[in-house]
Amino acid sequence: MSDAIFKKRKELLELAVKNGLNSTPTIKCSQELDDMIIAYQRTQLAKKQEPSPAY
């Protein structure tokens, strides 16, 4: 998933340079990146909250 986030971030930077920060494509891509980051953070948090096996 982090590779996908990296690629989306690169796409966002390219769109921002090409179209400007306030363009519709840039904002849409930024929102998609936000969603990807939030989903990634949730999976990481869920992994940390899983109970450890009892020995």
Average pLDDT for runs of 10 along the chain of length 55: 94 98 98 97 89 68
| Distance from C-alpha of 25 to C-alpha of 3, rounded to nearest angstrom | 21
Secondary element (H or E) of residue 29: helix 24-49
On whether residue 30 sits in a domain, the answer given is yes
On whether residue 51 sits in a domain, the answer given is no
On whether residue 32 sits in a domain, the answer given is yes
On whether residue 54 sits in a domain, the answer given is no
**CB neighbours of residue 41 within 10 Å:** 10
- Total domains, the chain: 1
- Note down the domain range covering 36: 2-45
On whether residue 33 sits in a domain, the answer given is yes
Percent helix, strand and coil across the chain, each rounded to 5?
80, 0, 20
Secondary element (H or E) of residue 40: helix 24-49
On whether residue 52 sits in a domain, the answer given is no
pLDDT attached to residue 7: 98
On whether residue 50 sits in a domain, the answer given is no
On whether residue 55 sits in a domain, the answer given is no
